[in-house]
Structures are given as structure tokens and as C-alpha cells.
């Protein structure tokens, strides 16, 4: 969103014509119809070489601590389906509920991580789950700017540098604020070991330290209403993908929240 604002390519009217299976309109910015930006893969070979080597180009990477990144991805992409996940991935998304129907947060995350470890060849077709080193082609790309999300103010410094370079007073949009779940809430020692194995290259190449977690975490369950909403969101997105429009899904969500 920030880059499309800088380049003045953002096409808001295309929001109504984007076939994304997501419950949130903000995620439509991932569609080329909406952001209007040119992808690297669409450049000619000579232009690709220029982009990768020339001092006239900025090569920017935004990275994150692997534990927090996966917990954030799970909240926004799995629980709330904040992106158009491929069907091959969605068939592997299962949650744990207690006898009263409340979603068990820690157990559900544990199940997700073990499933990711076993089916990584499926999950890795989506950049939200792939190791950051693979996405960034590290170390083959010489980045001019690297912003680490866990460092306070680091991303804001990058945005300010972009303002100066482009002479545009743009603001950094904030989406996917999450559900307030952090690594300490759901990552046990056992889960941490699995994450470290899956994202071994990220820890080694990007300089992230392995952390010590407790053997168990405090129980935490969603409310019954929130648990039902999660299930409902998954049903809506699946239904929308097969035959119905997004506006129908949002109306249904609004009616469910109001009831």
C-alpha cells in the first residue's frame, strides 16, 4: 500500500472487481489490479540486472523475528483468513476446541505448527509461510535497506527515507493488527524447537537468536462468540470461493456480529 501510494498506482475502484477469497477488503491490495505496481518477474532481463546491481535502485527487505512472524501469520492468515490462501493449504487448517466449543488457542497453534512441519511442501507455496531467506533470495540480492519489525522505529525510519527520496508526504498504512496473541502466549519449548527446525536458515542467515520458552503455556480460549466467528469466516470464504460474492459474505458476518 505504501509503495502504491508513492507511485500513485493505487486503483481503489478495482476493489469491487477483485476475485480474492478473503474476509477483509484491506487485503485486496495484494492484487495487481489494485496496487498497480510492476513485479520484478515482469521486467526484461536487462532491467532485472539493472534493478539488482544499480546504485540508482533501492532494494528493500522487511524482516521479522521467526517466532513472532509465524504467530502473526497464524492469527491473520489462518484464524481470520486475512489473505487468499490456496485451497491446498486451507484443507490442512484445523483447530482444537474444548467440550464447550471454545477455540483452544495454544493447542490450535501447536497443531498448526506440527502440520506445517509435516506439510511444508504445501505451505511453502505461499510466501506467508515460506522462510524469509527464500523469499528474499538471500544472500543473492544485495539489499540497500533492511527494516526489522521487532526494532521500535526501524520501519518508520525506512518510511521517512522513502518520503525524502520521493518528496511525497505519505503515511504508513497499518493493517493486520492481530488478536493480541504473542509468541509467549502460544509457543512452548516443544513448539519452539519445531519452529527453529522449519526456519533454520532464517535464524542463521538473518541473525535472529533462539529464545528459551517454558515447557507449557497458560490456557487461553476464545470466547464462544469468537470461536463461532472463526468457524463462520472459514465457511464464508470457502463458500465465496465456490459461488458467492464477497459482499454477501460481509453482510452475513455483519448480521452474525449484530445477532
Q: Report the C-alpha gap between 8 and 18 in whole angstroms.
A: 19
Look at residue 81 and tell me whether its pLDDT is greater than 80. Answer: no
What confidence score (pLDDT) does residue 244 get? Answer: 47
Mean of per-residue pLDDT scores for the chain: 86
Asked which of 104-113, 143-152, 189-198, 234-243 is least confident by mean pLDDT, the reply is: 234-243
Q: Minimal CA–CA distance to 199: which of 105, 54, 89, 63?
A: 63
pLDDT confidence bin for 174, thresholds 50/70/90:
confident
Residue ranges covered by each domain of the chain: 2-258
What confidence score (pLDDT) does residue 56 get? Answer: 95
The three-state secondary structure class of 85 is: coil
Q: Report the C-alpha gap between 178 and 73 in whole angstroms.
A: 9
- For 259, counting Cβ atoms within 10 Å of its Cβ (0-12 exposed, 13-18 middle, 19+ buried), the class is exposed
Asked which of 11-15, 56-60, 63-67, 115-119 is least confident by mean pLDDT, the reply is: 11-15
The three-state secondary structure class of 221 is: strand
Q: Which residue did the predictor score with more confidence, 116 or 77?
A: 116
Asked which of 46-50, 85-89, 116-120, 176-180 is least confident by mean pLDDT, the reply is: 176-180
Look at residue 120 and tell me whether its pLDDT is greater than 80. Answer: yes
Q: Report the C-alpha gap between 132 and 183 in whole angstroms.
A: 18
Amino acid at each position: 500500500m505504501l509503495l502504491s501510494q508513492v507511485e500513485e498506482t493505487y486503483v481503489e475502484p478495482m476493489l469491487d472487481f477483485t476475485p480474492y477469497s478473503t474476509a477483509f477488503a484491506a487485503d485486496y491490495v495484494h492484487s495487481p489490479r489494485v496496487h498497480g505496481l510492476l513485479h520484478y518477474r515482469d521486467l526484461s532481463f536487462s532491467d532485472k540486472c539493472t534493478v539488482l546491481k544499480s546504485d540508482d535502485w533501492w532494494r528493500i527487505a522487511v524482516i521479522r523475528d521467526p517466532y513472532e512472524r509465524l504467530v502473526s501469520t497464524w492469527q491473520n492468515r489462518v484464524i481470520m483468513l486475512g489473505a487468499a490462501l490456496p485451497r491446498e493449504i486451507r484443507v490442512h487448517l484445523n483447530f482444537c476446541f474444548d467440550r464447550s466449543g471454545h477455540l483452544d488457542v495454544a493447542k490450535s497453534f501447536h497443531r498448526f505448527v506440527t502440520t506445517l512441519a509435516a506439510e511444508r511442501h504445501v505451505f511453502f507455496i505461499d510466501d506467508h509461510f515460506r522462510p524469509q531467506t527464500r523469499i528474499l533470495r538471500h544472500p543473492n540480492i544485495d539489499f540497500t535497506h533492511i527494516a526489522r519489525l521487532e526494532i521500535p522505529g526501524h520501519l518508520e525510519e525506512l518510511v521517512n527515507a522513502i518520503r525524502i527520496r520521493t518528496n511525497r508526504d505519505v503515511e504508513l498504512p497499518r493493517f493486520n493488527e492481530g488478536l493480541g496473541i504473542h509468541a509467549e502466549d502460544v509457543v512452548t519449548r516443544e513448539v519452539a524447537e519445531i519452529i527453529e527446525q522449519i526456519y533454520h536458515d532464517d535464524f542463521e542467515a538473518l541473525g535472529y537468536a533462539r529464545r528459551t520458552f517454558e515447557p507449557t503455556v497458560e490456557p487461553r480460549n476464545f470466547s464462544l462468540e469468537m470461536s463461532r466467528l472463526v468457524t463462520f469466516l472459514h465457511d464464508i470464504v470457502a463458500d465465496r470461493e465456490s459461488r458467492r460474492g464477497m459482499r454477501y459474505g460481509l453482510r452475513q458476518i455483519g448480521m452474525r456480529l449484530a445477532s
